[in-house]
């Protein structure tokens, strides 16, 4: 099961979605879900902001394209809803269901911090995020030497193995992903 590309491991929260704007005039919000099933953005009880300063009971009211229309407790007009744009909605990790053994057995949040190792054993860096801008999941890998992070498509071809227990993902990056030949590419 893949869920929640963003996590704040320091406080054990997982981001289920982000408010993208207001919907209508009665305080409904549009939420971009990070859950496997979009409606599940409201399935795990009250949500809160990353810093925990605001907490909302949440109710899914419908869908609009790929967004979930939600009511957040205490948000009753368009101006308040619009002001929430960009607000990430978190729940404590323990509220999420255990992953099934038949499933992938991990959440996107579990990947953050893992070492990215090439199929040849070369260490490429650590995963610092899992992003999705609409065309599929991307791993954000930051080199250990402090260089600029790289985005790589999170496909079975590019990531043949995820080893949560071993603290790593095995990658076969496309050529020039890291500014040099990829692990699986022949040397020039």
pLDDT in tens, 4-35: 444 444 457 888 999 999 999 999 999 999 88
Q: How far is CA 9 from CA 53, 57, 73, 129, in A?
A: 17, 23, 26, 12
The set of residues, in sequence order, having a beta carbon less than 8 Å from that of 143 and lying 6+ positions away, is 124, 125, 149, 150, 178
Between vectors from CA 172 to CA 148 and to CA 122, what angle results, nearest 5°?
65
pTM for this structure? 0.67
Give the distance between the most distant pair of CA atoms in the chain: 62
Distance separating the N- and C-terminal Cα atoms of the chain: 39
Q: What is the pLDDT of residue 32?
A: 92
The predicted pLDDT at position 180 comes to: 66
117 vs 159: CA distance, rounded Å: 10
State residue 182's pLDDT score. Answer: 47
Q: pLDDT under 50 in the chain at which residues?
A: 1-10, 101-102, 182-188
DSSP strand E in the chain: where? 7-8, 13-23, 28-33, 47-48, 55-56, 58-64, 67-72, 88-92, 115-118, 123-132, 137-142, 150-153, 161-163, 168-171
């Amino acid at each position: 099961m893949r869920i929640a590309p963003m996590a704040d491991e320091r406080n054990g929260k997982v981001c289920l979605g982000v408010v993208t704007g207001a919907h209508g005039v009665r305080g409904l919000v549009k939420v971009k879900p990070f859950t496997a099933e979009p409606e599940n953005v409201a399935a795990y009880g009250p949500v809160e902001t990353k810093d925990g300063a605001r907490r909302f009971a949440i109710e899914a009211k419908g869908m609009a394209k790929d967004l979930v229309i939600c009511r957040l407790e205490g948000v009753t007009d368009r101006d308040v809803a619009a002001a929430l744009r960009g607000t990430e909605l978190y729940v404590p990790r323990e509220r999420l269901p255990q992953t099934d053994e038949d499933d992938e057995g991990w959440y996107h949040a579990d990947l953050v911090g893992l070492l990215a190792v090439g199929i040849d054993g070369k260490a490429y860096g650590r995963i610092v995020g899992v992003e999705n801008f609409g065309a599929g999941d991307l791993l954000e890998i930051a080199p250990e030497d402090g260089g600029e992070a790289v985005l790589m498509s999170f496909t079975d071809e590019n990531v043949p193995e995820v080893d949560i227990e071993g603290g790593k993902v095995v990658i076969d990056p496309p050529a020039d992903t890291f500014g040099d030949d990829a692990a699986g590419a022949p040397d020039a």
